Structure 1
Amino acid sequence: MIRFEHGKYDFNNNVDFCVGTGRMGLALQQNYLEQLALVQKEIGFQYIRGHGLFSDDMSIYHEYENEDGEIRIEYNFTYLDLVMDAYLQRNIRPFIELGFMPNALSSGEQTIFYWKGNTTPPKDYEKWQQLIQATLRHLIDRYGLEEVITWPIEVWNEPNLAGFWENADREEYFKLFKMSFLAIKEIDRRFQVGGPAICGVDDVSWLQDFLEFCQKEALAIDTVTRHLYTIDNPEKQGRYSYVTLRDPVECVDELKTSREIIDSFNEFKHLPMHITEFNTSYSPDSPIHDTNQNAAYIAGLLAQLGETSASYSYWTFGDVFEEFGVPFTPFHGGFGLVANGNIPKPTFWTFVFFKKLKGACVYKGEDAIFVETKDGGFRGVIWNTSEQVLKKSILLPERNQSFFFMEKRVDQEVCNPLRVWHEMGEPSSLTTDQKELLRSAASPLILTKELSIEQTSIELPVLPHGVTYVECYPIKRKSDRGFNYQKINEVHIIHER
């Protein structure tokens, strides 16, 4: 039984603070911007974070030899301006990730991904600092200081993985962080700078050592960042990775440990911790991402992540994404909330629903969360991660008027574009009609009813791997003169013989 209680539950709902993207250069593609526009219309994230700001496809950093044989540096912000303009036009701002290394500034040839982001330290740290400062100053000149200093900054990505940072060299990353931090703060100390952007590999010792380094070097960091993925050891078949989900309790405990480490330092106690990437699988070839199971599992996380973290950025908003190359099919296990073809996945709706949960939390359980609205109504989300139908009963608050009640269902029966695509024959190239059908199949089922004053409870079944959004508010009926809904439904056809 869901019974509403005031003042008992904490719910720090920051579901819309930030969302992930692939490398920034993808923002030059039309399909990318169409998916972002859909996400912003229905959800409306504040910030967007992605890789590759300084990678060669953004073409910012250049070295050339002048007539005297001296090496000179020049910067090209043409693509950066296009990307930033596109973001701001869609009412989203960058959560800046400093990386990867321009090839001309790199100390080695190690790269990662299909698009070959260089993951080695700079050959010259002074030039690295100059690159950071030149980029920030350009952004300030273009968009204004008071705007740009609100854009959070994170130094690098997952340096505790050898693929993302050569040899996962801890001391070298600490140097990179210090030099980057100082370069940013020299421009304006109000910039919010954080790291170490680690994933869950040896994360305890990495975070401890990072904070000890910042303490020793008197680096007054503004935020701490890390990532969260909830699978282990995927099974590879062809181009796909099949996964088993971890117990959500284990995942939340991992974050609690990080929170405890941060709070153990007097200098950093209570600093905001941002999860700058999270999802179920860490691989963009995992069919779990396209499923209703993913939507229900993520709902359970969204109800809890705010307990430890200032934000939690889903990786990613869309499937225009090329770490392993260009996808072969519209449903390929990509990270995105939106499949190629601008088709919302079930998890898309989990975010839409949680965005609406603004207000005092009056119920928080292992499979449901509800808030009270200003008009005396309520909104809530119920999720079912089991293989059986979940039956929930909501005890309605006492009231002296009728209520409008609405539920939106997302489950394997009514909002499952992956299943419809499979039943189509899994076409790799969708026709216009097929895209329209899949978009229609990707919408929740909406059910409504009027609740009388006498009704004290309502029963809600949630199908396996389903997510249901509930909204209820007082009816303030103002009928037009002569309009009689009951009379409309009493119309009979007269048959003359």
Structure 2
Amino acid sequence: ATNWAPNSPPDNFTIYAEVVAHVVMHYELGWPGMSGQIFNFDYIEIGNEPNLPAFWNGSKQEFLQLYSTVSQRLKTIGGSFKIGGPGLADINFSDWTTSFLGHVNGLGLPLDFFSWHAYWNQPAQVVGVIETGTTLLTNHGFGHIDRVFDEYGLDLLSDTEWGTMTAALHITHVLVSAAHHGIDVACFGFAKDVPIHPSVTTIFGDEANFGLLTRNPTTPKPTFHALKPFAAIMGQSIVNSTLVPSPTLFPMPVPPSVLATQGPGQHNYTILIANHGSRSTTTHITLHNAPAGTFIISTRILSSAGLQQYGDWTPPSTTTDTTISITCPPNAIIWINIHHLGPLLSPLEFTTLQTQVILRHPTPRFDK
């Protein structure tokens, strides 16, 4: 394209789709005599926030044409990857989502996953965007495809908060919501703080502080530590959850978010409690119809009162009581392991001081 800019539509959509296809083939299928790595992509996303002029200065119709042409060409490659998009920002989200899904449905285009983003300081606002996305997918007949929430976090204008316990609690609330709503993939956008070239003037100064790690020296932030329990429960079944309410029901103080997963063999459970409030909160965990036996419990806490990283596991305590009360300090996340010397007969049930949500049957695994 003449005087082409990265956010502008290509002059020729067919040629552009052919270029994209050959780039994918290069990394997905390899080439004769290659010595490099075959990537075996899981997902190929077409688009990044096309509903924002900074990333797409063409019309909505032009983007829909781009998706049509590229997705159909990629489908002919025959790889195992999934095709989707469009990575929408949460501005004019419902309007763009409705147009995009209607276009895909009307033409029978490939759409193996739908992706969207949200950056808000209040976790309940991010939860609201997750809820809106999943509802729109179901209403348009796409409830069966993968749901990819591939960017989330605090407001980008709040970059000084991204390295604090506020951001760690935010991540935990969002991922509990993602698990509750069946999100297949949730991606944190920044692994490391980003240096900004001196010639570029931005609102962030010399460095954007969005990463899980500082840049120099490389030091983990509370957000890095907040992801550790989610890594530990990959592949486990979700047996219960409570959520920060949606914005229209947002009370003060903020109730805790709770997630429980069941490990292999029905003997081991992991529980996360994120208390975003300024006061301690107590969560009562009731193990209904549990057979007689001993429960072994151990906890660790991530809070601003300590080193802002998870402390050591507490020495295991034992109880035969089927109701366990856990007090979580203010602005903290508590990570609990419960081991039962014998299988439980039913899912865990949670009752918190403000909220009660019961999931009677395990949901699909918490995968990515």
Instruction: Quote how far apart the aligned CAs of 1:453 are.
Output: 4.6
Give the residue type in structure 2 aligned to 1:260: T
Match of 1:303 among 160, 163, 176: 176
Q: TM-score, normalised by structure 1?
A: 0.57
| Alpha-carbon distance change, 347 to 192 in structure 1, aligned in 2, over 3 angstroms | same
Instruction: Read off the aligned partner of 2:133 and give its amino acid letter.
Output: S
1:350 aligns to 2:226 (yes or no):
yes
Runs of 4+ in 1 over 6 A off after TM superposition: 323-329
Identity of aligned residues (%): 18
Specify which of 246, 260, 268 is matched with residue 122 of structure 2: 246
Q: Does 1:412 align with 2:304?
A: yes
The structure whose RCO (Cα within 8 Å, separation 6+) is larger is: 1
Deviation of 1:194 (Å):
0.8
**Which residue of structure 1 aligns with residue 310 of structure 2?**
444
Shift in Å, 1:108: 3.8
Deviation at 1:322, TM superposition (A): 4.5
Match of 1:160 in 2: 51
CA deviation profile, 1:291-312 (whole Å, cap 9, x unmatched):
1011112212211213153222
CA–CA distance in 2 between the matches of 1:311 and 1:407? 27
Query: Matches of 1:215 and 1:363 in 2, distance apart?
Result: 34
1:274 alignment counterpart: 148
Bigger-Rg structure (1/2): 1
| Matched AA of 1:352 | K
Gaps of 5+ in 1: 1-105, 111-117, 231-244, 417-442, 476-497
- Residue 174 of structure 1, CA deviation: 1.3
Instruction: State how many pairs are aligned.
Output: 317
Whether the 8 Å contact between 1:290 and 1:333 is mirrored in structure 2 is no
What's the counterpart of residue 250 of structure 2? none
| Amino acid of the structure 2 residue aligned with 1:384 | N
Does residue 255 in structure 1 map to residue 130 in structure 2?
yes
Contact 2:297 / 2:339 at 8 angstroms: preserved in 1? yes
SS at match of 1:258: helix
2:209 pairs with 1:334: yes
What CA deviation, in whole Å up to 9, does each residue of 1:291-344 have, x standing for no partner? 101111221221121315322211122224649779877xx6622222222211
Verify the 8 A CA contact 1:256 1:308 in the aligned structure 2: no
Q: Which has the higher helix share?
A: 1
For each residue in 1:166-215, what CA deviation from the matched residue of structure 2 results, as whole angstroms up to 9, or x when unmatched? 15x11111122122112212222644111222111111111111122223
Identify unmatched segments of 5+ residues in structure 2.
244-256, 342-368
Distance 1:450 1:275 in 2: 36
Secondary structure at the aligned position of 1:290 is classed as: coil
After superposition, the CA RMSD in angstroms is 3.2
Match of 1:463 in 2: 329
Q: Is the 8 A contact 1:393 1:459 kept in 2?
A: yes
Corresponding residue to 1:365 among 219, 223, 242: 242
Q: Give TM-score scaled by structure 2 length.
A: 0.74
Closer, same or farther: CA 302–136 of 1 in aligned 2, 3 Å = same
Q: Which residue of 1 aligns with 2:30?
A: 141
Contact in 2 for aligned 1:401/1:452 (Cα 8 Å): no
Matched, 1:176 2:66: yes
Q: 1:182 to 1:302 in 2, by over 3 A?
A: same
Distance 2:78 2:96 in 1: 28
In the alignment, residue 252 of structure 1 is paired with which amino acid?
V
Structure 1 452/408 Cα, relative in aligned 2: closer, same or farther at 3 Å?
closer
